[in-house]
Amino acid sequence: MSEPNASKTGAPGTTAADVAGEPLPETLPSESFKDMFTEYEQSHARKKEAGAQGREGTVIAVTADSIVLDIGFKTEGVLPLTAFPADKAPKPGDKVQVTIKGRDPEGYYELTRGKVERPTDWASLEKAFAEKSTIVGTVTGVVKGGLSVDIGVRAFMPASRSGTHDAAELEKLVEQEIRCRIIKLDVEEEDVVVDRRAIAEDEERAGKERRYSELKEGETVEGEVRSLTDYGAFVDIGGADALLHVGEISWRRVNKPSDALSVGQRIEARIIKIDSDKRRIAISMKQLQPHPWDAVAEKYRAGERVHGTVTRLTEYGAFVEIEPGIEGLIHISEMSWAKRVRTASDVVKAGETVEAVILGVNAGERRMSLGLKQALGDPWVGAAQKYAPGTVVEGPVTNIMKFGAFVQLAEGVEGMIHVSEISAEKRINHPQEVLRVGQVVKAQVVGLDTEKRNIRLSMKQLVPTGLDEYLAEHKEGDMVTGRMVEVVEGRARVELGEGVVATCRIPEERPAKEEKRDEPSSSAASKPDLSSLGSMLQARWKSGGAADEAKPEASRAGQIRKFRIAKLDVAGKKIELEWE
């Protein structure tokens, strides 16, 4: 066995006399140094044995995660709270059997419950190796690739199995008593390799299992954020790891866990699920807060104006957060009065603050519909007065279809010019023969339907025609001459000029009157009145046959005759005639 270095025994800052429990004399006695060193080795061995076999400690204080004990040394010892069942944690003044396993970075003794043996010979080492049991050793120094450990014989501990991460941490282990496990033993070569990390991992695993069995769904726990990922945070809740999903951090939308949490932060959460098979625990911070939708029905009403932030965009609309945890949807059909929105990103952007009007609230399904265009005001209010038939309007062509062209009259108000209402001079097959998108045109309103939000326009109504001139030059009662172009069921269409057509009711035609003659007597009938016949012939000769009463000519298409204007409708551009 290698001899310990007398100048590096016990805790940092102590001497051989301190370890033995005796004051350092001012002058050395006459006894030999060999006798002093032998006495020190015996005293140090007794102290090691006392620590390895366990000792009784008195609880001084209980913190959130550990127990502080008086173990009879100048420095207290610390025992993890997880070493006890949740319902059997000790109280100040209680006695606890502990074993010293080392010192922490702050200088306190690290304790564990139970007894750990220190091997005394090769047979003990072989037994510990075979049973994979935990033994006690003392780190004697830092060597290449790891540490030298005294476990009754000199053993080597690789740095990777020390449980530390850098050289500075390795230095702190020198002269510390540690617990380890033999992972290689060659008696002939006296080659022994020990592992400290496996013990720590086993203890951590056991602590997690014990902690896991104590946890219950619905329980409120405290923990420390251990790491952050894109989908959530891993939280240490007292010896067990739990996942806090990004969607469970807050009722408001959190894009990344790092926006709301930081590593090392202490949080309070509720256990929402325990997966016994996969040993997974899910926790939630937001479940400890009232759900914001519980008060929505009382706070918000349809028709109210609200402000919010656009949180995300979809093909069919944009979601707007009006308060943490409360989002409403603006459908693309509710974004603009003036144009057809194909995608929400054409109107709003993520992160933008907008004003909207609540269109509907469904607290049960936690849905709210919003309108962006309603906040701007309905442009069709007052359209019946502003765009009454006969009104002349002006605006740019916004769209051209085969059947007509659309003209913007105001923000959100469009009128349509049918292809037949574009020109009075020629036949138009397609509006694009005359119009183009963006062209500003004038037109006259010829029809309005506020319920369907339709306005019919005409360009040709603004171009003076022969009919307009005729209406301007004539008045009711004027005598005019026209040609009947069509006669149907007692009414005639009369052409008064080029492009000027009127209507006229034809009076009923009466048959010619038959002259009543006295019935001649039988004797008179046999004798004709020659004097009357002569008179008739004489009258017809003198008048050329006009003595007979003239019969009126029957009404027919193509007939030209005189009429009287009975009614002039300038607005409707209609003329009614009377038979003369």
Report the C-alpha gap between 505 and 510 in whole angstroms.
15
Give Cα separations from 520 to 517, 524, 528, 545 (angstroms): 9, 5, 10, 26
* The pLDDT of residue 469: 79
Q: Is pLDDT above 60 for 463?
A: yes
Residue bearing the bigger pLDDT, 527 or 298: 298
* The pLDDT of residue 23: 40
pLDDT digits (tens, 9 = 90+) for 55-88: 788 999 888 778 898 988 888 888 887 777 766 7
Q: Is pLDDT above 60 for 50?
A: no
pLDDT digits (tens, 9 = 90+) for 154-191: 899 999 888 887 888 888 888 888 888 999 998 878 88
pLDDT digits (tens, 9 = 90+) for 275-288: 877 788 999 999 88
Q: Is pLDDT above 80 for 441?
A: yes
Highest mean pLDDT among 23-27, 55-59, 450-454, 501-505: 501-505
pLDDT digits (tens, 9 = 90+) for 549-577: 445 567 788 888 889 999 988 877 889 99
Angle at 40 between CA 34 and CA 41, to 5 degrees: 90
Between strands 77-80 and 109-113, the pairing is: parallel
* The pLDDT of residue 44: 46
Report the C-alpha gap between 332 and 317 in whole angstroms.
5
Q: Which stretches of 5-153 are assigned E, i.e. beta strand?
A: 55-62, 66-70, 77-80, 95-103, 109-113, 135-143, 146-150
CA count, 13 A, side-chain hemisphere, 195: 17
* The pLDDT of residue 544: 47
The SS3 call for residue 255 is coil
DSSP 300-355: --TT-EEEEEEEEE-SSEEEEEEETTEEEEEEGGGS-SSS--SSGGGT--TT-EEE
pLDDT digits (tens, 9 = 90+) for 277-323: 778 899 999 988 888 888 888 889 888 999 999 999 998 999 999 98
Domains of the chain by start residue, with CATH:
120-130+139-197 (2.40.50.140), 215-288 (2.40.50.140), 292-376 (2.40.50.140), 383-462 (2.40.50.140), 466-508+556-580 (2.40.50.140)
* The pLDDT of residue 552: 56
Among 99, 105, 108, 112, smallest CA distance to 48 is for 99
* The pLDDT of residue 239: 75
Residue bearing the bigger pLDDT, 269 or 73: 269
Report the C-alpha gap between 25 and 269 in whole angstroms.
59
- Residue 539 phi/psi, 5-degree rounding, is -65, -40
* The pLDDT of residue 115: 56
- Going by pLDDT thresholds of 50, 70 and 90, the confidence category of residue 437 is very high
Give Cα separations from 363 to 182, 292, 310, 574 (angstroms): 64, 10, 20, 60
Average pLDDT estimate for 364-376: 89
- Going by pLDDT thresholds of 50, 70 and 90, the confidence category of residue 117 is low
Highest mean pLDDT among 95-104, 213-222, 224-233: 224-233
Encoded tokens for 446: 């010829």
* The pLDDT of residue 2: 39
Answer yes or no: are the C-beta atoms of 354 and 348 closer than 8 Å.
yes
Residue bearing the bigger pLDDT, 65 or 385: 385
Q: Is pLDDT above 90 for 245?
A: yes
pTM equals 0.41
Encoded tokens for 56: 């009784």
